[in-house]
């Protein structure tokens, strides 16, 4: 029964997690020959999920207007590796279409519609808000620690929106004007297309982030009708606190009009409550070396994967998981937006619910072959204080905080072994994994939405901790590229601009919006990301990144 309860609470997560952090991860079982004819390098060295769930929502559930938590930030590898993708603990938000039992939500012609196993409604791959902390194969500038990035999938995975200008690491070029979806809200933080790097080398410090549905604009009855939910990303770090950006509601509503499918009207994340499951680390793409010994027994080597374990072998990864109703922030925010008193932005405790977490032993495989015995080295745990993480046990295979690095193939399974038990003739001990090199520049056009009406001031540059330089310019909030695809009235644009000016004046970056973490210390974002508006542009203007390249 415990297993059943866990899988029910994590069903949403496990069903589609593989698609969320990189559907492009499929078909990665290619082998690259090394300098030894008996040695092969496998891009599918390790795959699996390390997940947590939680108790059922209290009926009737109203905690569908936001979700947040604190996630540990640490360097999984000693050096930046090429072809490496692991998401640190994150979550996914979907529009609640549970009333639909059989009508497809993914239109014919979309990528997700080809995933027949997701039918008959394709609700799990219709639209999502996701992203978080992690390493992604598409990162251009790796520097050791992970990065933070938003991500949204508005159109059944036809495209993804990860920043105010670019997709989720799928292209060097900015998204076409009609696919831009993120509105930069903060006038103090740069949001590069390659993700937000951190200061120094964090080792278990926590980053808080939340997604809150907020009414920056009013509902529209047009064609298509559009709701008022702008899913807004809040961060809580040592040197920055507050909202950074939101998904424009039309990002979600326009799919119905585009595909001439009125059934989709009102079914997107702009209008529907958000379904939010548990959370997980997705081990997506990890390289591995494979070689036989003198008797033909196959061994494999993985990169050194390290976790922030303490002296008792505990790695605390997620804490303070909280779900929110509209009473937490939406209601007060709407009163302010409609002309009432200013809202502090603090998430109200009256609209917050912190569920009891639960967990399950993770499973791993390599190109379909299961790993057996990893749970004898470490397993997931719920620690005191409702903290989810990993517990290492006394063993002869791997020190505390390290994922087993060597495995032996027994039949159709791999079992962990100590480095000393790997026969020297395999040559695995001397094999080094390729390091990542800087990628090509991210570029944006000099015409279209980026130039008309265009920036007020710039360009400027900032050198980041990941070895890149970002170029940015200051745009009036409603003049930023993401809004230019919409033919809003002058009145609507002026109303939104005036409200954001009030928000910039009232919401500083040194005040808690999320409740502080109950334990541990906060991580610091790379200080070069934090900027000061030029004189005269203190409110109502935002720094839009227009490019990023190697320094």
| Secondary structure in 3-state letters for 475-516 | EEHHHCHHHCCCCCCHHHHHHHHHHHHHHHHHCCCCCCCCCC
- Alpha helices by DSSP H, listed for 314-389, are 330-337
* 18 inside domain: yes
CA dihedral of 485, 489, 493, 499, whole degrees rounded to 10: -140
Number of domains within the chain? 1
Token digits for 73? 């930030």
With a cut of 80, say whether residue 23 has pLDDT above it. Answer: no
The long-range contacts involving 115-119, CB below 8 angstroms and separated by at least 24 positions, are 115/19, 118/15, 118/16
Of 204, 214, 184, which Cα lies nearest the Cα of 196? 184
More confident residue, 278 or 109: 109
Per-residue pLDDT, 40? 86
pLDDT at 346 over 90: yes
- Which residue(s) pair with 289 in the sheet? 41, 301
Q: Could you give the CA distance from residue 160 to residue 264 in angstroms, rounded to a whole number?
A: 19
pTM above 0.85, yes or no: yes
Cα separation, 327 vs 343, whole angstroms: 12
pLDDT tens per residue across span 233-259: 999 999 999 999 999 999 999 999 999
Is residue 37 over pLDDT 80?
Answer: no
Residue 245, domain member (yes or no): yes
Residue 56 lies in a domain: yes
Please report whether residue 239 resides in a domain.
yes
Which residues face 185 on adjacent strands? none
Q: Is residue 190 part of a domain?
A: yes
* pLDDT at site 60: 79
Q: What is the pLDDT of residue 10?
A: 43
Q: Is the peptide bond before 224 cis (omega within 30 degrees of 0)?
A: yes
> How confident is the model at residue 278, as a pLDDT?
87
Tokens 């409702």 appear where? 386
Q: What is the mean pLDDT of residues 153-163?
A: 98
pLDDT of the residue at 15: 36
Assigned domain for 196 exists:
yes
Sheet order of strands, 541-550 included: 457-463, 468-476, 541-550
Which domain does 191 fall in, by range? 2-282+317-356+438-550
- Residues 40-56 have a mean pLDDT of 91
Start-to-end CA span in the chain (Å): 55
Render pLDDT for 433-490 as a digit per residue (tens, 0 to 9). Answer: 999 999 999 999 999 999 999 999 999 999 999 999 999 999 999 999 999 999 999 9
User: pLDDT at position 41, please?
Assistant: 84
Q: Say if CB 281 and CB 87 are below 8 A apart.
A: yes
Instruction: Tell me: pLDDT of 26 over 60.
Output: no
Residue 474 lies in a domain: yes
For the segment 383-397, what is each residue's pLDDT rounded down to a tens digit?
Answer: 999 999 999 999 999
Q: How far apart are CA 159 and CA 180, in angstroms?
A: 10
- Residue 402 within a domain: no
């Amino acid at each position: 029964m415990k297993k059943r309860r866990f899988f029910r609470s994590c069903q949403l997560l496990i069903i589609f997690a593989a698609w969320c952090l990189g559907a492009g991860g499929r078909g990665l079982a290619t082998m690259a020959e090394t300098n030894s004819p008996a040695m092969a390098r496998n891009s599918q060295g390790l795959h699996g999920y390390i997940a947590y769930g939680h108790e059922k929502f209290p009926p009737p559930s109203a905690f569908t207007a936001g979700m947040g938590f604190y996630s540990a930030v640490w360097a999984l590898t000693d050096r930046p590796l090429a072809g490496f993708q692991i998401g640190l603990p994150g979550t996914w938000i979907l529009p609640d279409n549970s009333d639909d039992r059989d009508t497809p939500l993914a239109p014919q012609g979309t990528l997700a519609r080809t995933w027949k196993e997701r039918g008959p409604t394709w609700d799990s791959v219709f639209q999502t808000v996701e992203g978080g902390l992690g390493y992604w194969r598409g990162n251009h500038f790796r520097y050791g620690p992970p990065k933070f990035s938003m991500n949204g999938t508005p159109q059944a995975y036809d495209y993804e929106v990860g920043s105010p200008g670019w997709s989720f690491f799928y292209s060097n070029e900015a998204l076409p004007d009609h696919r831009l979806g993120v509105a930069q809200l903060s006038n103090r933080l740069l949001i590069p297309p390659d993700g937000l790097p951190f200061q120094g080398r964090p080792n278990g410090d926590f980053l808080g982030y939340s997604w809150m549905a907020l009414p920056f604009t009013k509902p529209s009855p047009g064609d298509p009708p559009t709701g008022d939910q702008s899913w807004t990303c809040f961060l809580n770090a040592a040197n920055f606190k507050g909202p950074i950006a939101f998904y424009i509601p039309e990002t979600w509503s326009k799919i119905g009009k585009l595909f001439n499918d009125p059934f989709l009207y009102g079914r997107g994340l702009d209008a529907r409550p958000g379904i939010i499951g548990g959370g997980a680390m997705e081990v997506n793409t990890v390289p591995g070396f494979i070689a036989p010994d003198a008797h033909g027994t196959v061994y494999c080597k993985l990169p050194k994967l390290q976790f922030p374990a303490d002296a008792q072998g505990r790695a605390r990864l997620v804490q303070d998981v909280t779900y929110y109703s509209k009473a937490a922030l939406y209601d007060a925010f709407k009163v302010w937006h409609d002309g009432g008193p200013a809202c502090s932005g603090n998430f109200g405790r009256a609209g917050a619910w912190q569920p009891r977490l639960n967990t399950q032993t993770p499973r791993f495989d390599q190109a379909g072959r299961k790993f057996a015995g990893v749970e004898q080295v470490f397993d997931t745990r719920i620690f005191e204080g409702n903290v989810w993480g990993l517990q290492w046990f006394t063993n002869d295979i791997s020190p505390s905080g390290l994922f087993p690095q060597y495995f032996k193939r027994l039949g159709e399974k791999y079992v962990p072994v100590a480095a000393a038990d790997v026969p020297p003739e395999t040559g695995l001990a001397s094999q080094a994994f390729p390091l990542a090199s800087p990628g090509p520049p991210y570029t944006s056009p000099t015409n279209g939405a980026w130039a008309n009406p265009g920036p007020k001031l710039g360009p400027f540059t900032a050198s980041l901790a990941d070895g890149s330089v970002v170029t940015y310019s200051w745009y009036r909030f409603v003049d930023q590229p993401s809004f230019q695809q919409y033919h809003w009235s002058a009145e609507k644009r002026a109303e939104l601009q005036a409200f954001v000016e009030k928000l910039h004046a009232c919401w500083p970056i040194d005040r808690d919006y999320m409740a502080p973490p109950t334990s541990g210390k906060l991580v610091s974002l790379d200080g070069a990301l934090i900027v000061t508006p030029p004189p005269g542009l203190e409110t109502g203007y935002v720094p839009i990144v227009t490019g990023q390249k190697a320094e």
